[in-house]
């Protein structure tokens, strides 16, 4: 399974989010100084962040397929301990995948609000900003925390399960 690929993809989303925020702050300062009217670099950063979310979803889809294959490949196990570790591994992998999908969905919602605010800001000025992305960003953060709790011990479950499969 590409757990490393998924972790890298999730970290890339975080990196892109930070870049988008930094870019907006820089462009906002230029806006306040009367140096620009549009936030083109922020829009590019938003698109890059959405691309990173799409890549995360692609990796999660691959993992879901791999989880299904793992179920098929481990159905023959009968030893109690092996079955317990298989079940624990599958449960944790499922939660891992679900929580990261929750994260991606909340991030999409937050980015929609950010983009809506950016559109309003450019059209009508700062007073037109009305969408609040913070609840969605908070849900994304909570999904990551829940993810981290859900995968505790996954490595050892997978190592033990792998020992039975070899």
Eight-state DSSP code of residue 151: T
pLDDT band at 4 (very low <50, low <70, confident <90, very high): confident
Rounded to 5, what percent of the chain is helix, strand, coil? 85, 0, 15
**Percentage of residues in the chain having pLDDT higher than 70:** 99
pLDDT in tens, 6-62: 999 999 999 999 999 999 999 999 999 999 999 999 999 999 999 999 999 999 999
Of 104, 129, 117, the C-alpha closest to 50 is 104
Mean pLDDT estimate for the chain = 92
Based on its alpha-carbon atoms, the radius of gyration of the chain, rounded to whole angstroms, reads 21
Beta strand spans in the chain (E): none
pLDDT in tens, 88-112: 889 999 999 999 999 999 999 999 9
Eight-state DSSP code of residue 1: -
Checking if the pLDDT of 1 tops 60, the result is no
Per-residue tokens: 67: 């989880």
Of 89, 76, 103, 78, the C-alpha closest to 150 is 89
């Amino acid at each position: 399974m590409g757990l490393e690929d998924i972790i890298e993809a999730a970290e890339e989303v975080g990196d892109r989010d930070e870049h988008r925020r930094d870019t907006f702050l820089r462009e906002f300062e230029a806006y306040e100084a009367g140096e620009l009217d549009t936030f083109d670099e922020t829009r590019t950063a938003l698109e890059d962040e959405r691309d990173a979310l799409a890549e995360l979803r692609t990796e999660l889809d691959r993992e879901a397929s791999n989880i299904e294959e793992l179920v098929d490949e481990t159905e023959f196990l009968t030893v109690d301990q092996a079955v317990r570790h298989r079940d624990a591994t599958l449960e944790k992998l499922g939660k891992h995948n679900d929580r990261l999908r929750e994260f991606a969905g909340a991030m999409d919602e937050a980015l929609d609000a950010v983009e809506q605010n950016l559109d309003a800001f450019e059209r009508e000025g700062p007073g037109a900003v009305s969408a609040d992305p913070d609840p969605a960003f908070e849900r994304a953060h909570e999904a990551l925390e829940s993810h981290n709790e859900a995968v505790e011990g996954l490595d050892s479950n997978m190592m033990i399960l792998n020992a039975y499969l070899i």
